[in-house]
Amino acid sequence: MDTLTAIKTRRSIRNYRDEILDINLISEIVSYWLYAPSAHNQQAWKYYIISKKADREFLAETMEYWKMLLNAWWCILACYDKDRVRSFEFVQQDMWASIQSILLAAHEKWVWTVWLWLYPHDEPMSKISQHFDLPDSITPFAIISMWVPEWEIPEKNLKSEWKIVII
C-alpha cells in the first residue's frame, strides 16, 4: 500500500473477527513508532503490548468507551518516560505523531486499530499506572486496540470541505 492510500483508507474499527493475530506481527507494527518525529529528537516514548485478557477486561472497565478491548486480542499502552523528556511542552505532540505512525503501519499490515484517549485525564492515567505497576517515570498516554476487522471497512465520511486557503 502506498503512503497516500494508507492515509486515505485508514479507519477506526471497533468490531473484530475471531482470528488470532501473531505477536511477531504486532511487535513489528509497534516498532514503527521509533521512526516518528519528536521535538529535539527526544524520543521519550515507550510502548507496552498488553496480551492478557484480564488486563483488557480491566481497561474496558476503566473507560466507558473502551468496550471493544474485550474483543481485541492485543492492545498497546502508549507511554512516555519522564526521565527521557527534554521538553515537556512538546512530549504530547511527539506521542500523537508516534501513535499515528503505528496506526498507519498497522493499516499496511491489514491490522485495524482504534486510538483510545487517556491523557490528559489523571484518574484513568493513575489507575493504569497502579494496575500495571509502572515505574514512576512512565506516564500512560493512550491505548491502541488491534485486531482483524469483522466487516468491510467503511469509507470515511469527511466533515470538512476539501478547500485549501492560500494566505
Ligand X SMILES: Cc1cc2nc3c(=O)[nH]c(=O)nc-3n(C[C@H](O)[C@H](O)[C@H](O)COP(=O)(O)O)c2cc1C
How far is residue 139's CA from residue 129's CA, in Å, rounded to a whole number?
Answer: 7
CB 89 within 8 A of CB 146: no
**What does the alpha-carbon distance between residue 134 and residue 52 come to, in Å, rounded to a whole number?**
16
Residues 18-57: x where in contact with ligand X by CB under 6 A, - otherwise, as a string: ----------------------------------------
If one asks whether residue 116 binds ligand X (CB under 6 A), the answer comes out as yes
Identity of the residue, 158 or 166, whose beta carbon is nearer to ligand X in the bound complex:
158
Provide the grid cell at 44.
521519550
Count the helices and strands in the chain (H runs, E runs): 5, 4
132 touches ligand X (CB under 6 A): no
- Nearest approach in angstroms of CB 166 to ligand X is 26
Q: From the CB of 6, what's the least distance to ligand X, in Å?
A: 13
Chain contacts with ligand X (rule: CB under 6 A) = 11-12, 14, 65, 114-117, 156
